[in-house]
Structure 1
Amino acid sequence: MKTKNTLIALLILFSLSAVSQPSCSIFPVNLTCEYLTNPSGLDVLHPRFSWTLKATDENKYGQRQTAYRIWVSGSRKAIDNNKGDMWDTGWVKSDKMQLIEYKGIPLLSDKNYYWKIAIKDENDNESGYSEVAEWSTGLFSRSEWTAKWIGSSQLFDYQKSNGNCNIDDPWLRKTFELREKPSKATLFVASVGYHEVYVNGKKIGENVLDPAVTDHTQRARYVAYDIADELKTGNNVIGLWLGTSWSIFAPYYTADKPRTPVVIAQADIYDKDHNKMVRIETNDTWKTRPSSNKLLGTWEMRNYGGEIQDANKEIKDWNVANFDDSEWNMATVYSPHLTLSAQQVEANNLFDEIHPVAIEERANGSYRVDMGVNFTGWTQIHVRGNPGDTIHFLFSEREQDEMTFNIHSAYIIGSTGEGTFRNRFNYSAGRWITIKGQKTKPKPEDIKGWMIRTNYKTATTFECSDPLQNWIYDRVRWTFENLSLGGYVVDCPHRERFGYGGDAHATSETGMFNYTLGAFYSKWLQDWRDVQGTESMVGNMNDPGWARKQVGSGRFLGNGVLPHSAPTYHGGGGPAWGGIVVTLPWLLYQHEGDIRILEENFDMIKKWLEFLDSHTQDNLLQRYGGQWDFLGDWLWPNATAEGMNNDKPETLCFNNCYRVYNLRTAAKIARVIGKTNEAEKWEHQAEASSKAIHNKFYNEEDHSYADKSMSNLAAALYGNVMPPDLRQTVMDRLEKEILVNRKGHIHVGITGGAMLFKVLREEGRDDLIYSMTSKTTYPSWGFMRENDATTIWEMWEKDLPGHSLLHSSYLYPGAWYIDGVAGIRRDPDIPGFKRFVIRIPNLNEMQISWAKADFDSPAGLIKSHWDCKGEKTSLSLTVPPNCEATVCFPDKKGTIIRENSGFARQMGKKDGYILFHVPAGKYEFSN
């Protein structure tokens, strides 16, 4: 009894003690490693950890982190016991919570690691432990790979293809025995071409179209699959299904690599005591045979095709352990010279199940299916007919066309008289599907589709009072999602599938302000580093000797030249295409606070600017390359009739202004990472070139540049090439060009539009942007809506043949809705949103009377909701813990601004706004 009473007394004492301890005002959440949540197979020796903070009482103010402590352990048991046997930082006095580099005991390959953190708040109270996060490592050294590259003996031959692939997608399998069910088994798989992994008949994972698209002249990315749960005591089998796809892409041709899908894979399998039982690896003991699936098309521009599935060749149990593979062939071993590295980006997944809105029976016996929306993705279609019938599926993004860009698939019916087509190693793009060869009308429930994209997280919601702006925002996001698959942004998903640098200017900030894309853009920048030194195009595209018409990726020059797309090499462009390698790292640094991204890409940036220097005379960039290598703006209204690819002064002016922007941006990057000599050199070059541009191209009579176009006005302001006292004059001239000369309409294309919107966003000219986004007549986004668009087009014109209605061209408003209309802006002096600006836009009530956005920034959730009715303006704002904001509230004469908390500190007035400084918390402002 005495023992029991003592125990009760101790429990009461402990309880009272716990209650009396001050509680921490914040708690760490959203733990990520290298931008990813619990990633698998990272090959980063010093990964970086990030988190955000949640207020324990959201009605309080000024919550801050003053210290953090990180524990990293090699076992779940140790981390649960609060032991950091790999790394224990101890308490670090710091408010940093983004991208903190691991500095513990060196990591080992193929290991699981666990981590958690605690923080201290503004009063030095401890938070307690966060949830446990984890990551696993890949293989850090090429010498750890003992597996061989294998595939089938079939080789693609373009001359024999006759427009369609002449090889089958192969199956590969390997059986083996285990003495017990394993505790751990990670299968690392890299392939040239897509792959699927099966263990004992079960497909591993929900990912599709693995791996991410990569420059296969240099690299293959491996994916880590946890297969332990599917393995068992006794006989087991691993099956690999390879898809031809990128393995035959002409720019990836190298003499050491076959034009056929190949794979390398290995797994160390551990028993319950964590001892290695066996290593499974691809080699010449694996078996292979052709599968029931085959690529249609030749995986080149305008002929990516689709896939044909033959039900008569299906083998139900090809991937189970007791299947008799004695009649199968031995795999062929190959020896490509490729760097193996981890796929450090989210995989592709299926989203947004899509169903038909109408099915029409046509006079020729075909059936026309309207899916209701233009989309990139997979379809599943159940068909009926006679055994051996071939059912064709033709995809189109234009109602009047049966098929666009040769996107089509097919299914051969087996002995049952029915079957189901479903994509596996290709994807379609379009809204309408024409079904040919089926005798009976399909039912709506027979058909469904899914959009495919890289599985990044959505960061933002936005809505405002103007229905047209909401439509543009929604369609811009839908278009971006349908273009961002494979770890880069394609220009269009059907005709080209190239990762153009010029188009990246039109999409990157829209992406960053609406999704979590740190890993996505880091991967894409690695692609750009891989392709540097290789020409994009050689000569005239109509010349029979054009270097990449069938095979090859242009001449390798080994200098700083960049092709116009990555990782795909192909396509035309100009300095603003390769120049994304300067702009994108800087934007990512501003958005995420990522200094490593500047360091990793600095050599590429330096080589690129040296390449441009080699084509500079008297401080002016000269035209270089072939016919398609020095483009300026692209696809402005009526551009095809006026001629875009030209040697006129406007192109020289445009590209020289862009070069100056590259120089100024590179100098900022150099300053951040301590490269003072380069910074001073580039700053000097920028000033000298600005003077040369202004002297040559400035039109003093009306304060314009070159051809007086909107694009060159934007480019001049973007590069800031004019003397400082003329900048406002040139801005006024741009305003006149928009409002008077173009009657409020936009008159730029892809790169010019990206520059225009960037300039206007930074200048706070929301009124000018609204003028262009509010129009419903040609050219405008509203014109697209008036013409039943469900995606953003490639051109301002709808019906010009050969052009896409699902394209990256004009997605630049997507960033403005967040940092302009909702007013959530980066602070140029503090990257990563730890400090940011909230600015109610320069719009009147008749334009937009309210807007709201929730933005899950890298530093935490920011909420902005403003409302303007008559003379009364109100703002609701949430500043996340450990952050601060500058609020810019309109300064209307004779009004007094009220604020609910008393924590807002007035800082003065600027540019028609009253400025307040606010720490973390929820705020209500009104006049």
Structure 2
Amino acid sequence: MKITHLRTNHMTNPLGFELDRLTLSWITESGNSQSVSQAAAQVVIAIDEEFNDILFDSGKLQEIDSLGYNPEIEMKARTRYYWRVKVWGDAGDEATSDTAWFETAKMDELWEGKWITPDLDKETHPLIRKTITLPDNIVSARAYICGVGLYDVEINGKRVGDEYFAPGYNAYDFWLQYQTYDITSILDSGDNAIGFMLGNGWYKGRFGFDGGYHELYGNEFAVIAEIIVTLKDGSEVTISTDQDWKCALSPITFSGIYDGEVYDANQESKGWTISNFDDIAWGSVSLTKVKTESFQARRSLPVKIMEERKPIEIIYTPAGETVLDMGQVMTGWVRFKTNAAKGTKLQLQYGEILQNDCFYRDNLRTAKAEYTYISDGSEREVQPHFTFYGFRYVKLTGFEGEINIHDFTGCVMYSDIDETGTIETSNPLVNQLFRNALWGQKGNFLDVPTDCPQRDERMGWTGDAQVFAATACYNMYSPAFYQKYMFDLREEQKKIGGSVPFTVPTVKPKDDNGFIGGHGSAAWGDAATVIPWTLYLHYGDKELLRQQFDTMKDWVDYIRRVDEESGGKRLWQEGFHFGDWLAQDGPDPQSPMGGTDSYYIASAYYCYSAQLVAKAAAVLGKNEIAEEYAKLADEIKQAIKNEYFTPNGRSAIHTQTAMIVALYMDLIPESFRPRVVEDLKEKLRTDKMHLKTGFVGTPYFCKVLSENGANEAAYTLLLNDDFPSWLYAVKLGATTIWERWNSVLSDGTISGTGMNSLNHYAYGSISEWMYQHMCGIKPAEDVPGFRKINLSPKPYGKLQFAKATLQSASGSIESGWEIKEDGALTFTFLVPFHTTAEVILPDALLETIKVNDRELVNSRFAAKQEGRYVKCGLMAGKYVFDYMPTASYILTYSTNNSLSDLLNNEETKKIFEEELPEVAGNPIVQGPFAEKTLREIVKIPLFSRFAPSEKLDKLDKRLELVRQ
């Protein structure tokens, strides 16, 4: 056995984070062990790395859960704690982990440091510095820092840390977070210099709706810091910000989230963070105050340069422009080398798409998205400090002579989150779709789950965040990232009686009610319930649920108050709602409002969120609350049935989304489900097997189809490649998910500039269906965190194979399938240590299945036949199942049925003769080749010219409609 992924509060070795309650987790891998599950575990915490001074020892306990163990210890400020775990397997073997650690911040200690602000014009970007003298025998040193808007810190000429955009983006007036840095290796005995560089950021720069607002939280630059140095004798030296620090003009003459940055190297103070720098001419600073309700240790994961990419091409456009093509829409910036002559102005402008083969950025609206560097004549490598861009293309201006593509590096920036999931299929377009959704997540997980990273918006829209949450948890290890977001949501929520803003953090300045962006919309506000429940399902840590339970409950209570004040009908029929945002079925093609009644959607989420509160309460042992909200959900469900469905179960709102949410959110009696499923399938056929859904209906569409006997229709939606569909964008070269189904028209022109992002991850939620249904990896509600796994992959004949891997909270999971040339099916599964899995094999006969080359019926595995499925329980291990299916997985008549089968059915014969008359009427085909499938026949040179692929695809689609 081997123990890996030791995490404290879902972070690896966190330094200086707010630790509300300690949660330790880890993963045990079987390796070559005979053990398949944990028999017991022991957690030990010490204050020294050698574990001589043990603070906590759980002892050997059976009940310790690796998904989330909460040792009760009293933590001290500014202290590093070491911990390790020992695991005993059920076969008697054992393993001990490496050592992990966590270090507390200042906690409740008073600050000696003071907020200081430069005595400069409020718009002038400052440098702030001080020289300090330290004694010998330094053992350790920490810096506790916060600066607004954004800050960088240097000590002795070296940048401290590898993160950017500190202190992060949150509701600064409610809480402000400081960062902790280990600076032991940077400090020297004797003289040292410390310097801060400040930028506007979200705090005082332009940001928000309609082009943004200035000074959302404050109007001056400020910084606070304490450097605490521990000496060998145990004493401490503290250096704090006060009025003795000095300031000067920064070489950054402008910075902004939307507009970029201007850096004049000629204004640099060379060596300003070296101890012998002469700052006699520098100006003074003043004490100031930064208004916030709570000043606390960090919750934000650091934003870092997580990947680097080289441009794939330099393009010289018809307009005479020089443009870098990074080959991928990404978030971050381009770093470049230069030795331009003194005074040369180099400019980089960022955009997502070319138009008429020329650089284009009109869809960024008012965001300038540019970087300007004014050279001092020196040779160096240059990158911004206090801005980021969403881009694929970079227009270069001012670069003289031949440009070397190797001088440019794309820096991909997002919060420090590990990738956990992969998907691969036999279809390159589907594979690209998966990558597009993953890149959309990377591009928008920059401290806040934003809607888009490029235009004058970049805000934490709650609707986008909740519909994508499950996909996010498959793709990347997301609990700590979402915990910070949900903490912010809670702080906002407390100010408005349990409601939830449209964006978190909400955008200031405040109106009379405290918000400018609005609040209380269904699906958007339901981030309060959906995200905590999703985190619990994926990571199995009850603490994630406990921390946000009041958030969940207060949101539903807010809706209930609105309901009571409007008559207590157990429907939500008040206020503004985004509804099925950007759906294709709205009455006005120019409007983003979909065709499904927004009050119906609101009432559906009212019911759904009440259900989630009831479930969460039950998990946490709050049984009376669970009963109360289950009863409330039942009352809403009855009201929805009475208001929106006929006595025979027909949906009075005849849209795809209306029926999808009824099925997904369990809004209707079980007796209504067959009718609604059939009506949805008929509606889909009427809509020519294309989705018409928006932000609400789309995430659930394929899941509803696959879970209700219409898996073929789900695959049809996945594989459609004309508008509107996921693969439409892929075929047009998209490398991320678009905001609109037709963000770019089929001729390559952008469809509009008012609201048109090419990196908008919401529709990337199709990846959740790909993990859960195409590949079959799904967590079980009764045993979450993938401690119990539902493995139910659903093959489909237009794909030869599909497979997924997931580094889950319980360990590595694999699930894949392949259709062999003879039609046989092979499934491959990897079940991690200390988990169980229920495998459901479709169209299978128990006596024909082999597992790991042995007959399943004679194996040790409990398997049973249930209709056309075989169910089998598995423990940890790797498994290969083989069998010949009882029904074809090439699910179209034209690819699987012989020609005689097609011609013996009047309906299919008519379609066949209409689409391929040359083949249908050929006597040779009807003779010796009649028992061959159509795809076999068209390989014969005599006939292949009559059946090109586009004709076969059209025939397939018509025949599939018959089958359905």
TM class by smaller structure: 0.7 to 0.9
1:325 counterpart = 2:279: yes
**Structure 1 residue 384, shift from structure 2 partner:** 6.6
What is the CA–CA distance in structure 1 between the aligned matches of 2:375 and 2:608, rounded to whole Å? Answer: 60
What is the CA–CA distance in structure 1 between the aligned matches of 2:609 and 2:240, rounded to whole Å? Answer: 46
Checking the alignment, whether the CA contact within 8 Å between 1:909 and 1:915 is kept in structure 2 is yes
Checking the alignment, whether the CA contact within 8 Å between 1:764 and 1:820 is kept in structure 2 is no
**Once the two structures are superposed, what CA deviation does each residue of 1:525-576 show, in whole Å capped at 9, x if it has no partner?**
111111114569x9xx9xxxxxx9995134446xxxxx7xxxxx74788211
What is the CA–CA distance in structure 1 between the aligned matches of 2:133 and 2:151, rounded to whole Å? Answer: 24
Q: Which segment drifts farther, 896-905 or 662-671?
A: 896-905
1:109 counterpart = 2:77: yes
**Once the two structures are superposed, what CA deviation does each residue of 1:481-532 show, in whole Å capped at 9, x if it has no partner?**
1111114344444331111111013321111011111111111111111111
Q: Percent identity?
A: 26
Question: In structure 1, the residue corresponding to 2:523 is in which secondary structure?
Answer: helix
What is the CA–CA distance in structure 1 between the aligned matches of 2:426 and 2:217, rounded to whole Å? Answer: 56
One-letter identity of the residue aligned with 1:36: M
1:889 counterpart = 2:841: yes
Checking the alignment, whether the CA contact within 8 Å between 1:257 and 1:335 is kept in structure 2 is no
**Structure 1 residue 910, shift from structure 2 partner:** 3.9
- Which of 34, 57, 60 is the aligned partner of 2:9? 34
1:468 counterpart = 2:429: yes
1:307 counterpart = 2:273: no
1:220-369 matched pairs, under 5 angstroms: 220-248=176-204, 258-276=218-236, 278-297=237-256, 299=257, 304-338=258-292, 339-361=294-316, 366-369=321-324
State the TM-score, normalizing by the size of structure 2. 0.83
Q: Which residue of 1 aligns with 2:347?
A: 392
One-letter identity of the residue aligned with 1:448: T
Checking the alignment, whether the CA contact within 8 Å between 1:184 and 1:274 is kept in structure 2 is no
Checking the alignment, whether the CA contact within 8 Å between 1:631 and 1:644 is kept in structure 2 is no
1:147 counterpart = 2:98: no
Q: Which residue of 2 aligns with 1:19?
A: none
1:185 counterpart = 2:141: yes
**Once the two structures are superposed, what CA deviation does each residue of 1:64-98 show, in whole Å capped at 9, x if it has no partner?**
11111111111113x2xxx4621011111226212
Q: Which residue of 1 aligns with 2:581?
A: 634
Q: Which residue of 1 aligns with 2:715?
A: 770
One-letter identity of the residue aligned with 1:314: E
What is the CA–CA distance in structure 1 between the aligned matches of 2:827 and 2:471, rounded to whole Å? Answer: 24
Q: Relative to 1, partners in 2 of residues 1:533 and 1:911: Cα closer, same or farther, differing over 3 Å?
A: farther
What is the CA–CA distance in structure 2 between the aligned matches of 1:435 and 1:126, rounded to whole Å? Answer: 59
What is the CA–CA distance in structure 1 between the aligned matches of 2:629 and 2:273, rounded to whole Å? Answer: 59
Report how many aligned residue pairs link the two structures.
Answer: 851
1:495-510 matched pairs, under 5 angstroms: 495-510=456-471
Q: Which residue of 1 aligns with 2:525?
A: 578
**Structure 1 residue 701, shift from structure 2 partner:** 8.1
What is the CA–CA distance in structure 1 between the aligned matches of 2:768 and 2:596, rounded to whole Å? Answer: 31
**Once the two structures are superposed, what CA deviation does each residue of 1:296-355 show, in whole Å capped at 9, x if it has no partner?**
55x5xxxx1110111111222111111111222222322223212222343111133233
**Structure 1 residue 419, shift from structure 2 partner:** 6.3
- Which of 163, 175, 182 is the aligned partner of 1:207? 163
Unpaired runs of at least 5, structure 1: 1-25, 157-166, 542-547, 558-562, 564-568
State the TM-score, normalizing by the size of structure 1. 0.86
What is the CA–CA distance in structure 1 between the aligned matches of 2:560 and 2:553, rounded to whole Å? Answer: 10
Q: Which residue of 2 aligns with 1:435?
A: 396
1:752 counterpart = 2:679: no
One-letter identity of the residue aligned with 2:266: N
**Structure 1 residue 903, shift from structure 2 partner:** 6.3
What is the CA–CA distance in structure 2 between the aligned matches of 1:580 and 1:618, rounded to whole Å? Answer: 24
Q: Which residue of 2 aligns with 1:724?
A: 670
1:669 counterpart = 2:605: no
Checking the alignment, whether the CA contact within 8 Å between 1:182 and 1:269 is kept in structure 2 is yes
Q: Which residue of 1 aligns with 2:776?
A: 823
Greater RCO (CA < 8 Å, at least 6 residues apart):
1
1:867-878 matched pairs, under 5 angstroms: 867-869=818-820, 870-878=822-830
What is the CA–CA distance in structure 1 between the aligned matches of 2:721 and 2:147, rounded to whole Å? Answer: 47
Q: Which residue of 2 aligns with 1:4?
A: none
Q: Relative to 1, partners in 2 of residues 1:550 and 1:924: Cα closer, same or farther, differing over 3 Å?
A: closer
1:735-884 matched pairs, under 5 angstroms: 735-738=681-684, 740-760=685-705, 763=708, 766-797=711-742, 798=744, 799-802=750-753, 803-841=756-794, 843-844=795-796, 846-869=797-820, 870-884=822-836
One-letter identity of the residue aligned with 1:203: R
Question: In structure 2, the residue corresponding to 1:331 is in which secondary structure?
Answer: strand
**Once the two structures are superposed, what CA deviation does each residue of 1:148-199 show, in whole Å capped at 9, x if it has no partner?**
122324565xxxxxxxxxx233211122111114111111122332221211
Q: Relative to 1, partners in 2 of residues 1:896 and 1:228: Cα closer, same or farther, differing over 3 Å?
A: same
Checking the alignment, whether the CA contact within 8 Å between 2:776 and 2:793 is kept in structure 1 is yes
Q: Which segment drifts farther, 508-517 or 443-452?
A: 443-452
One-letter identity of the residue aligned with 2:101: E
Checking the alignment, whether the CA contact within 8 Å between 1:256 and 1:336 is kept in structure 2 is no
What is the CA–CA distance in structure 2 between the aligned matches of 1:155 and 1:90, rounded to whole Å? Answer: 61
What is the CA–CA distance in structure 1 between the aligned matches of 2:488 and 2:587, rounded to whole Å? Answer: 31
One-letter identity of the residue aligned with 1:882: H
Q: Which residue of 2 aligns with 1:55?
A: 30
Question: In structure 2, the residue corresponding to 1:92 is in which secondary structure?
Answer: coil
**Structure 1 residue 42, shift from structure 2 partner:** 2.7
Checking the alignment, whether the CA contact within 8 Å between 2:582 and 2:593 is kept in structure 1 is no
What is the CA–CA distance in structure 1 between the aligned matches of 2:333 and 2:384, rounded to whole Å? Answer: 6
Question: In structure 1, the residue corresponding to 2:630 is in which secondary structure?
Answer: helix
Unpaired runs of at least 5, structure 2: 745-749, 884-964
Q: Which residue of 2 aligns with 1:11?
A: none
Checking the alignment, whether the CA contact within 8 Å between 1:39 and 1:135 is kept in structure 2 is yes
**Once the two structures are superposed, what CA deviation does each residue of 1:771-806 show, in whole Å capped at 9, x if it has no partner?**
111011000111102212122110011222221111
Checking the alignment, whether the CA contact within 8 Å between 2:528 and 2:551 is kept in structure 1 is yes
Checking the alignment, whether the CA contact within 8 Å between 1:792 and 1:811 is kept in structure 2 is yes
Q: Which residue of 2 aligns with 1:379?
A: 334
What is the CA–CA distance in structure 2 between the aligned matches of 1:255 and 1:170, rounded to whole Å? Answer: 17
What is the CA–CA distance in structure 2 between the aligned matches of 1:183 and 1:764, rounded to whole Å? Answer: 66
**Once the two structures are superposed, what CA deviation does each residue of 1:621-644 show, in whole Å capped at 9, x if it has no partner?**
44544xxx4210111237594365
- Which of 361, 369, 388 is the aligned partner of 1:403? 361
Q: Which segment drifts farther, 724-733 or 335-344?
A: 335-344
Q: Which residue of 2 aligns with 1:650?
A: 597
Q: Relative to 1, partners in 2 of residues 1:369 and 1:678: Cα closer, same or farther, differing over 3 Å?
A: same
One-letter identity of the residue aligned with 1:63: V
What is the CA–CA distance in structure 2 between the aligned matches of 1:908 and 1:289, rounded to whole Å? Answer: 77
One-letter identity of the residue aligned with 1:38: N
What is the CA–CA distance in structure 2 between the aligned matches of 1:121 and 1:685, rounded to whole Å? Answer: 44
Question: In structure 2, the residue corresponding to 1:472 is in which secondary structure?
Answer: helix
What is the CA–CA distance in structure 1 between the aligned matches of 2:12 and 2:243, rounded to whole Å? Answer: 37
What is the CA–CA distance in structure 2 between the aligned matches of 1:847 and 1:409, rounded to whole Å? Answer: 45
Q: Relative to 1, partners in 2 of residues 1:39 and 1:412: Cα closer, same or farther, differing over 3 Å?
A: closer
**Structure 1 residue 880, shift from structure 2 partner:** 1.3
Q: Which residue of 2 aligns with 1:9?
A: none
Question: In structure 1, the residue corresponding to 2:65 is in which secondary structure?
Answer: coil
Q: Which segment drifts farther, 189-198 or 768-777?
A: 189-198
**Structure 1 residue 387, shift from structure 2 partner:** 3.6
What is the CA–CA distance in structure 2 between the aligned matches of 1:605 and 1:238, rounded to whole Å? Answer: 44
One-letter identity of the residue aligned with 1:91: K
Question: In structure 1, the residue corresponding to 2:643 is in which secondary structure?
Answer: helix
Q: Relative to 1, partners in 2 of residues 1:182 and 1:488: Cα closer, same or farther, differing over 3 Å?
A: farther
Q: Relative to 1, partners in 2 of residues 1:653 and 1:87: Cα closer, same or farther, differing over 3 Å?
A: same
Report the RMSD for the aligned CA atoms in angstroms: 2.9
What is the CA–CA distance in structure 2 between the aligned matches of 1:858 and 1:668, rounded to whole Å? Answer: 21
Question: In structure 1, the residue corresponding to 2:607 is in which secondary structure?
Answer: helix
Q: Relative to 1, partners in 2 of residues 1:549 and 1:508: Cα closer, same or farther, differing over 3 Å?
A: closer
What is the CA–CA distance in structure 2 between the aligned matches of 1:357 and 1:45, rounded to whole Å? Answer: 46
